[in-house]
Every structure is written in structure tokens, then in C-alpha cells.
Structure 1
Amino acid sequence: MHALSDIIKKLLNGRPELAKSTADDGYTPLACAVSNNNLEIVKILLKHDPGLAYVKNRTGETPFHVAALNGFVPIAEEIISTCPDSAYITHEKYSTNALHIAINNEQPKFVDFILKTPQLHRLINRDDKDGDLPLHYAARKCNSEILRSLLSYKGQDYTANNANNNNAVDEVMAMKKLLKTLKWNESFTLVSSVIPSAWRNAAGDKAKKEIKKQAIQKVASLTARYTSNTSLVAALIATITFAAAFTLPGGFSNDPSDAGLPIFARKVAFQAFLISDTIAMCSSLAVAFLCILATWEDLDYLLNYRKTTRALMWCAYSATTVAFGTGLFTVMAPERLWLAIFILVLSCILPFISKIIGDWPKIMVRLRVGRQFRSDLVPNI
């Protein structure tokens, strides 16, 4: 690296005009150094000629814009320490500033850098040629991390409209492809939390209508796929539990007085095995039967159908794991009590662990947004 630095210094001393030359891709030497995250070369070039920080490449970007695009905070700090006002130069074509660019390329660390640097705060409420503030860009990206940072800034203009007369809430609402995702839900919750309650309620009602509209459009295909997968799993559980009922743990007694009876019939663990195995089989058979009835395309009916079958499948899954644990406990406890207890405990907690893992993304969103989480905007189909 030192050898490269020495070569660049010699070139600049011998041919200083090279500092302002451009490559075939339109990048200046400083822009190249920035894009390669080479802080040492950036320092050399800025020391040679601070005016290089103001030179745009052929695509209309300054070195500070390139740093924002790539999220290179140390290099951005070096540029503004030498040329503070270079941060306020806008893009040649789109009139976007560095904050617009950082958000458009989803660079949360660079956004935080701007928010923590008082001399750059004027970038926050500056618009581009279409009247979009950085907040509008973040809303379109549905990037909750960036939105949270922007909304935490006290001087943020929450209600500003762009050239299309859209505010940040409108921009989030326009992202219909993301409408049924937790990413969208969290973003909507964040931007709607800072607007008046009347607007918030109206936006929430509009979002629910759009979610229902999308659900109706896809209800047939989604239900067919769900029914196919669910019926397959239900049939598998029913088969397993039915077979387990006739291959009882420990087998059957050969004693003349108890001939044909299960050996462990009087054991509590065995009785728990029978109960859980029966619950699992009945629940899975009920699901398999309900899947046959899922032919209507009425949204309310199908929502209720999915809610019911999910509850029954959860019951069947939980009961199956409990049956497995109690069955092994029955035969293992007399010889290896510690192993029997371990198997039983693991089998009983497995359904709850699975539930937590499955709901983990939703749990994390709830933790981040707290009571403001809109569970009514999480689609059920």
C-alpha cells in the first residue's frame, strides 16, 4: 500500500493534471479511490487538490455520492473534513443528495452517520427533482431500520408531499407487492405512528381493504396449495398414530390372568401415551376430512377453515410428540430413568420451540414496534 501511495504522489507531482482525468467509465481518480474504499489514497488526492471533491463523474455523482452509494463512512468523514460543503452537491440528473443515494442503496450506517453529523442535517429535508425527500425514498424501500432512524430525527418533516402529492404513508401504501409482508407491516406502523390519529386510522382501513382484495384474488391458488400440503401431513400423522396404537410400548402380557392386555396398562405414562396418541389421530383425521370440504372460494369461509385446520394440526403435532415421549418413557424408565426423563421433556417442549421459531420474525417485529404493531394487517391467507 505504501508503495502505491508513493507512486501516486510521484505521478501527481510530475503530472498534476492526471488528478482530474476520467476513466472510460467516467470515474475520476478520487471517485475510483472512494469506490475501492482506499482511505489512504483519498487523503493523498484531497491533500493534493481539495477541489477534486466537487468534480462529478460522467454519471453526475461526486466522490461523496460514491461514498454514500457504497456506505463508506470513514471516507465520507475525510471528504467533509476537507470540503464540508461538497456534501450538499446534488446529482447532475436527478437532483438527489447523498442521503437520497444512501437510502436508495439501503446503507443504514451511512444514514446514521448523516443523522449524527450536525453539519449534514440540512440534507434530511431536501427534495429531489420529483419533490421526494429522503423519507419518501425510505418509505418506498420499506426499510424499517432506515425509517426508524429518520423518524427519530426531531426536525424530520413527516407530512411533506412530493410532486405526486404523496406523503411517506402514501409511498408505503403504494408498495403493493410487499403489502402482505412483515417488512411492509413494520414500515407502515413506523410511518403511520407519527401522523395524526385520524389519518392513521384512515390509512389502516385502506391497507386492510387492499390486503383483503389481494387475498380474494389469490384465494383459490393459495388454498389449493395449502390444502394439498396440509392433507399430506395430516394423513402421515394419522398413519403413524394409528400404527402406534397397535404396537404398544412393552407389548402384550402372556400371563394367563392378563392374557392379551398391555404389559404397562397400569402405568400412568402408558395411559398418557394412549390419550395423546388418540388425540393426535383424531385431530389429524379431522384435518384430512376438512381438506375435502375446502372447495368454496368464499374468503371468510376459507379464513375460518385455515384457522381451524392450523389449530387441529398444531394439536395433532403436539400430541404426536407427547405420545412418542411418553411411550419411550414407559419402557425406558425402569432401567434408565435419566434418559427417559430427557426424552420426555424434549418431546414435550419440541412443539413450543417449533412455534417460537416459526413466529420468530413476527415476535421480533412486535419487540421493535411494541404496542403499535398492527396484527390486523398481518394476512391470514
Structure 2
Amino acid sequence: MLKSEIMHVLMSAWDEKCLVAVSLVESWKVACGILKGKKFNVENGVPCIKHIRELKEKQQHAWELVEFLCREIAKSNTSNVEKIFKPVLRTAIHVGIPEIVEEIIASYPMAIDMNVHDDLDIFPYAIQCRRERVFNLIYQLDYGSTIVAQQDESGNNGLHLAASLKHEQQIIVRASAAGPVLQMQRELQWFKEVEKFAAPGTKERRNSDGMTPAEVFSETHQNLVKDGERWMKDTATSCTIVAALIATMVFAAAITVPGGNNSYNGHPVLSKQKAFVIFGISDALALFSSITSVLMFLLILTSRYAEEDFLRTLPNRLVVSLITLFVSILSTMVAFGAILYLIVFGDNQEWVLIPIIALASIPATLFGALQLPLLVEMIQSTYGRSIFGKKSDRELR
């Protein structure tokens, strides 16, 4: 009974929402101090912050309880300590709570070598579960290569585990139409990161099935590669049609000058108008960006779709293609709005600019609303700060 109660307390003590609340409260205090130029009572000044203040206090008390329990459990005999800590570690790693894992290791250093699940120690199990926040604790140790070289009962080392993809091991990615592409990219990031800790012999070591880590990766990721390839080709095909239509329209608008040309010198009649200058610049930008988008989407369609391409090559091309397509749509709307204002309404009716701008922004806004989440995800995953290498100053051993 005591064991189950301690497990429940340890696992429920750390609430990530409380951690977020700490940052919110501190940021709010600083902001209030800057705005008011004096001390400010957050709880009395803004009643809705009272709940966040309570969460901060709850987090602090919970963490003190975790530290106390870990210290007291570590004082017990070895058999009791392992019986209590093992299921706690397994659950903490599985759900991705590195703070509890770190505190247990700090209180009981032998926990690093504890088998927590299917003959797997802490870090191999974190690799199998794809919990980067727990895996990052390895950077606080000085023998990561030894940990990666450890083998389970099937002869799989840490690199084999990073290469393997099973249904229960799949990475939890945010709901997105590009889920297969992002997941394949994240799988490659995991494999490359664990590979940094692997010695040359570890990379070529075969498991009980006679497969190296690279062979395991290719074998278990075939379906994911096919799904990612299918999504990329469908997206590129659809967007290529849109970009080609835009290029056709803006090219026709460029050679058919609105307002006609002067008969004696061939210059556009409206060339002195500001709106015409805006039209010319926007039309040229739309043409160049749409052609660039078409070329980038064609590169996506003609890619070889090797596993390595999902790490950088394909995401880079997709990001550039979507950005240039958005620029071409926006520029086309600006060019149309400018020439509509100049030809239909005249240069002295500024009031029509508001409805023209509002209507012209609808297509660009819709495209941005539909594709911006995908673009942000892809940029963060490709160019954002790595999910690996984050560590605290606390030495574990």
C-alpha cells in the first residue's frame, strides 16, 4: 500500500502546468513593474492572476515533496529502493517527466543502471519511447557512448532502438496533414543524435536478427517514407497548378499594359501614376515568385525521396515553395487592386482603397490561415532550436 501511495505522489507531484505558471507570474510581475514604475500587488491588482499564483505555490510545495520523498526512499535498503524507484522511473520516462528522473538519479546514483523495462536502462528506454527531455539528461554524464553501446536481450543497442519504429513507439506529433513528413524528419533527428554517442563498432553491430542499426531503420520506416512521399507529391502537384496559373495571369497583365500605350513613343499612358508604379512592381514580383515556386515544387516532384532527404532537403524545398507561393498570391492581389483603383475608380477617389484592400486581402488571408500552421511547423522543425542538448547545471554522477 505504501509503495503504491509513494508512486502516486511522485508521479502526480510534478505538474507541467505549474511550471508554466511560474514563468507567467514572473513575467507578469516584471511587466507590471515596468508599466507602473513601482511595486505592484499582482494578486490584488489583477484577481485572475490569483489562480496562477496558487499554481506556483503548489508547484513549489510539490517539488519540495518530491525531493524529500526521494531522499527518504534512498535511505532504505537496496531491495526496497529498487522496488519503489523502478516503476516510478518507468512511468516517468514513458510520460516524459525528466525532473523526477533527475531527482531520483541525484538521490540514488545507482538508478542509472537500473533496468526499468524489458531489460532496458533509463536512457535506452527513453530512446525507445522517444522522450527527448529525459534523453537530454545523458549530456550531464561523461560516458554516453557506454550507455548507447549497452545491449538488450535481443542484441539491440541504443542505436538499434533509435532506428526501430513500432506502433507503440511512434512519435507523438501535433495534428497536421504533414504528419508523416514531420515524423520522418523527427525520426532522422533522433537517429542522428544517438549516432553521435555511438562508437564505430556500435554503428555496425548486428542484433539477434543479423541487422545493423541502418538496416533496422530502413526496414521499419518503409511505410512512413511512402506516406511522406505521397503527401509531398500530392501537395506539390496541387500547388504547382496554382503557381503556374498565377504566372500565366501576371505575365499576360505585364505585356498587355492597362490603359494602353502612347502612339508616338510606345510608353504606357498611365506610367506617371503612383498606382501604376505599384502595379508594375507587384506584377513583376508576382511573376518572379510564382515561377520560383513552380521550379521548387518541380524539384520536390522529381526528388528521389531517399530517407536522408526528409531531414533537410525536402523540408527546405517545401518551405521555400510555400513562401514564394504566398508572396506570389499577395503580389497578384496588390497588382490587381492597384490597377482596379486606377482604371475603374480614378486617382481622386481614395475612399475606394479601403474596400479594395479588404477584398484583395481575403485570398492571401485564407491561404495564410490554411498553410501557415504547416509552414510554421516545418520551419520550427527544420531551422528551430534542436530538441537535443538541453541540460541543467546539475551533475548527475
Q: TM-score, normalised by structure 1?
A: 0.55
Q: 1:108 is matched by which residue type in structure 2?
A: P
**How far has the Cα of 1:263 moved from its partner?**
0.6
Report what 1:65 is aligned to. Answer: 7
**Gapped regions of structure 1 (runs ≥ 5):** 1-27, 29-54, 57-61, 371-381
CA contact (8 A) 1:91 1:97 kept: yes
Change (3 A) 1:236 1:184: same
Report what 1:379 is aligned to. Answer: none
Change (3 A) 1:70 1:163: farther
For residues 105 and 312 of structure 1, what CA distance do their matches in structure 2 show?
Answer: 36
Identity %: 13
Instruction: Give CA deviations for 1:167-224 in whole Å, capped at 9, x if unaligned.
Output: 2221121125459434433432332222214534887744774587446644774366
CA contact (8 A) 1:173 1:188 kept: yes
1:148 aligns with 2:146: no
Q: Which has the higher contact order (CA 8 A, sep 6+)?
A: 2
Report what 1:373 is aligned to. Answer: none
Report what 1:89 is aligned to. Answer: 81
Change (3 A) 1:108 1:236: farther
**How far has the Cα of 1:138 moved from its partner?**
0.3
For residues 304 and 119 of structure 2, what CA distance do their matches in structure 1 show?
Answer: 43
Correspondent of 2:90 among 92, 100, 114 = 100
Greater Cα radius of gyration, structure 1 or 2:
1
Report what 2:271 is aligned to. Answer: 264
**How far has the Cα of 1:120 moved from its partner?**
1.4
**How far has the Cα of 1:329 moved from its partner?**
7.8
CA contact (8 A) 1:111 1:146 kept: yes
Change (3 A) 1:255 1:269: same
Change (3 A) 1:210 1:362: farther
Q: 2:199 is matched by which residue type in structure 1?
A: P
Report what 2:187 is aligned to. Answer: 184
Instruction: Give CA deviations for 1:2-57 in whole Å, capped at 9, x if unaligned.
Output: xxxxxxxxxxxxxxxxxxxxxxxxxx4xxxxxxxxxxxxxxxxxxxxxxxxxx33x
Q: TM-score, normalised by structure 2?
A: 0.53
Report what 1:318 is aligned to. Answer: 327
Instruction: Report the 3-state secondary structure (helix = DSSP H, G, I; strand = E; otherwise coil) of the residue aligned with 1:181.
Output: helix
**Gapped regions of structure 2 (runs ≥ 5):** 15-62, 172-179, 206-211, 358-363, 391-397
**How far has the Cα of 1:107 moved from its partner?**
1.3
The equivalences for 1:166-185 within 5 A come to: 166-176=156-166, 177-178=170-171, 180-185=183-188
Instruction: Give CA deviations for 1:223-256 in whole Å, capped at 9, x if unaligned.
Output: 66335532554366457647865997xx526988
For residues 222 and 151 of structure 2, what CA distance do their matches in structure 1 show?
Answer: 27
CA contact (8 A) 1:237 1:316 kept: no
Report what 1:39 is aligned to. Answer: none
Change (3 A) 1:128 1:205: closer
Of 139-148 and 76-85, more deviation after overlay is shown by: 76-85
Q: 1:105 is matched by which residue type in structure 2?
A: V
**How far has the Cα of 1:99 moved from its partner?**
2.2
Q: 1:363 is matched by which residue type in structure 2?
A: Y
Report what 1:225 is aligned to. Answer: 234
For residues 107 and 352 of structure 1, what CA distance do their matches in structure 2 show?
Answer: 30
**How far has the Cα of 1:142 moved from its partner?**
0.9
For residues 171 and 131 of structure 1, what CA distance do their matches in structure 2 show?
Answer: 13
For residues 198 and 262 of structure 1, what CA distance do their matches in structure 2 show?
Answer: 75
For residues 242 and 194 of structure 1, what CA distance do their matches in structure 2 show?
Answer: 54
Q: Superposition RMSD on alpha carbons, in Å?
A: 5.3
Change (3 A) 1:310 1:208: farther
For residues 105 and 316 of structure 1, what CA distance do their matches in structure 2 show?
Answer: 39
**How far has the Cα of 1:367 moved from its partner?**
7.7
Q: 2:281 is matched by which residue type in structure 1?
A: A
Report what 2:27 is aligned to. Answer: none
Question: In the comparison of the two structures, how many residue pairs are matched?
Answer: 292
For residues 140 and 222 of structure 1, what CA distance do their matches in structure 2 show?
Answer: 26
Q: 2:125 is matched by which residue type in structure 1?
A: Y
Report what 2:284 is aligned to. Answer: 275
CA contact (8 A) 2:294 2:321 kept: no
